[in-house]
Amino acid sequence: MASNKIQFRSIHELKDPALNNKLAQKEFQEEIPVEDFLGDAEKNGSSTSRRDFLKLLGFSTAAVTLAACEAPVIKTIPYVVKPHDIIPGIPNYYASTYFDGFDFASVLVKTREGRPIKIEPNPAGGDLGKTNARAQASVLSLYDNDKVKQPKLDGKDETFDKVDSFVIKGLGEAKASGKKIVVLSHSFASPTFKKLFAEFKAKYPTAELVTYDAFPYSAQLDAAQEVFGQRALPVYDLRGSELVVSFQADFLGDYNASSLETSYAAARKPGPNMLRHIQVESNMSLTGANADSRYRLKPSAVNKTLVEVYNAIVGGGTSDKTATEIANELKAKGSKAVVFADGSKGAQVLAHLINQKLGSVAFTGKANLLKEFDGARYQEFLGWVNGGQVGVLVTNNVDPIYSHPKGEDFKKSLSKVPYVIAVADKKNEMYKAAKAVIPVANWLESWGDIEPQTGVYSLMQPTIQKIYKSRQIEESLLVWKNGKNNAANNYYDYLKASSASLLGGTSFNKALYNGINASTNSTTLSYAGGNAAQAVAELGNFKPSELELVLYTKTSMGDGTQANNPWLQELPDPITRMSWDNYLTISPKDAEKFGIDNDLNARMQLDGSIVNLTVNGVTIKDVPVFVQPGQAEGSVGLALGYGKKNSGATADTGVNAYPLFDGSNLVLSGVKIEKTGEDHEFAGIQLQNTLMGRYEIAKEVPLADFINVAFDDEHKGWNKPLEYHTISGALPARKIDLWDAFDDTDGPHFNLSIDLNSCTGCGACIIACQAENNVPVVGKEEVRMSRDMYWLRIDRYYSSRQTVEVYEGLKDGMAVPELYGTAFNKEGGALNHPADNPDVIFQPVMCQHCNHAPCETVCPVAATSHGKQGQNHMAYNRCIGTRYCANNCPYKVRRFNWFTYNLNDKFDFNMNNDLGRMVLNPDVVVRTRGVMEKCSLCIQMTQTTILEAKKENRVVKDGEFQTACSKACTTGSIQFGDMNDKASEVRKLYAGDRRYYLLEEIGTKPNVFYHTKVRNRVEK
At 10, the amino acid letter reads S
The string of DSSP codes covering 670-696 is: -EEEEEEEEEEE-EE-TTSS--TT---
Q: Which tens digit of pLDDT belongs to each residue from 316-354?
A: 788 889 999 999 999 999 999 999 999 999 999 999 999
Q: Where are the beta strands (DSSP E) in 370-450?
A: 390-396, 419-424, 436-439, 448-450
Q: What percent of the chain has pLDDT over 90?
A: 71
Q: What is the pLDDT of residue 905?
A: 87
The mean pLDDT of 49-58, rounded to a whole number, is 45
In a 10 Å sphere around its CB, with 0-12 CB exposed, 13-18 middle and 19+ buried, how is residue 431 labelled?
Answer: buried
Closest CA to 310 of 542, 540, 548: 540
How many Cα atoms sit within 13 Å of 537 on the Cβ side?
4
The mean pLDDT of 160-180, rounded to a whole number, is 94
- Give the mean pLDDT of the chain: 87
Spatial contact of 788 and 776, defined as CB atoms under 8 Å apart: no
Collapsed DSSP state (helix, strand, coil) of residue 454: coil
Spatial contact of 615 and 655, defined as CB atoms under 8 Å apart: no
Spatial contact of 623 and 655, defined as CB atoms under 8 Å apart: yes
The mean pLDDT of 648-667, rounded to a whole number, is 92
DSSP 443: G
Collapsed DSSP state (helix, strand, coil) of residue 817: helix
Q: What percent of the chain has pLDDT over 70?
A: 88
Q: What is the pLDDT of residue 818?
A: 36
Q: How many CB atoms lie within 10 A of CB 38?
A: 12
- Specify the long-range contacts of residues 819-828, CB closer than 8 Å, at least 24 apart: 820/6
- pLDDT-derived band at 615, boundaries 50, 70, 90: very high
Spatial contact of 613 and 671, defined as CB atoms under 8 Å apart: yes
Rg (the chain; Cα; Å): 29
Phi-psi bin for 883: left (phi > 0), alpha (psi -120 to 50), beta? left
CA–CA distance, 634 with 545 (Å, rounded to integer): 8
At 1003, the amino acid letter reads G
The rounded Cα 325 to chain-centroid distance in angstroms is 33
- pLDDT-derived band at 15, boundaries 50, 70, 90: low
Q: Which tens digit of pLDDT belongs to each residue from 363-407?
A: 999 999 999 999 999 999 999 999 999 999 999 999 999 999 999
- pLDDT-derived band at 315, boundaries 50, 70, 90: confident
CA–CA distance, 439 with 461 (Å, rounded to integer): 18
Asked if residue 60 has pLDDT above 60, the reply is no
Q: What is the pLDDT of residue 25?
A: 54
- pLDDT-derived band at 31, boundaries 50, 70, 90: very low
CA–CA distance, 897 with 54 (Å, rounded to integer): 18
- pLDDT-derived band at 431, boundaries 50, 70, 90: very high
Spatial contact of 906 and 897, defined as CB atoms under 8 Å apart: no
Q: Which tens digit of pLDDT belongs to each residue from 823-875?
A: 334 443 333 566 678 889 999 999 999 999 999 999 999 999 999 899 999 99
Q: What is the pLDDT of residue 745?
A: 80
* Residue 912 backbone dihedrals phi, psi, to 5 degrees: -100, 5
Q: What is the pLDDT of residue 809?
A: 37
Q: What is the pLDDT of residue 81?
A: 77
DSSP 124: G
Q: Where are the beta strands (DSSP E) in 282-362?
A: 293-296, 337-341
Intra-chain end-to-end CA distance of the chain, in Å: 17
The mean pLDDT of 301-313, rounded to a whole number, is 94
Spatial contact of 7 and 696, defined as CB atoms under 8 Å apart: yes
CA–CA distance, 468 with 144 (Å, rounded to integer): 11
Q: What is the pLDDT of residue 432?
A: 93
Spatial contact of 682 and 607, defined as CB atoms under 8 Å apart: yes
At 191, the amino acid letter reads P
Give pTM, 2 decimals. Answer: 0.89
DSSP 58: I
The mean pLDDT of 120-130, rounded to a whole number, is 92
- pLDDT-derived band at 553, boundaries 50, 70, 90: very high
Picking from 228-242, 542-556, 679-693, 820-834, which range would have the lowest pLDDT averaged per residue? 820-834
The three-state (H, E, C) secondary structure of 958-989, written as one string? CCCCCCHHHHHCCCCCEEEEECCCCCCHHHHH
In a 10 Å sphere around its CB, with 0-12 CB exposed, 13-18 middle and 19+ buried, how is residue 660 labelled?
Answer: buried
Closest CA to 891 of 856, 928, 857, 848: 848
The mean pLDDT of 969-973, rounded to a whole number, is 94
DSSP 524: B
Q: What is the pLDDT of residue 819?
A: 30
The mean pLDDT of 184-203, rounded to a whole number, is 95
Closest CA to 247 of 206, 298, 197, 212: 298
Which ranges of 215-274 would DSSP assign to H, the alpha helix?
218-228, 261-267
Closest CA to 588 of 552, 633, 624: 633
CA–CA distance, 973 with 737 (Å, rounded to integer): 30
- pLDDT-derived band at 32, boundaries 50, 70, 90: very low
Q: Which tens digit of pLDDT belongs to each residue from 758-809?
A: 999 999 999 999 999 999 999 999 999 889 999 999 999 888 755 434 333 3
CA–CA distance, 106 with 124 (Å, rounded to integer): 8
Picking from 3-12, 203-212, 277-286, 592-601, which range would have the lowest pLDDT averaged per residue? 3-12
Give the sign of the dihedral formed by CA 45, CA 51, CA 55, CA 59: positive
Spatial contact of 942 and 867, defined as CB atoms under 8 Å apart: no
DSSP 746: S
Q: What is the pLDDT of residue 746?
A: 84
DSSP 522: -
For residues 312 and 837, which has the higher predicted lDDT (pLDDT)? Answer: 312
- pLDDT-derived band at 73, boundaries 50, 70, 90: low
Q: How many CB atoms lie within 10 A of CB 972?
A: 17
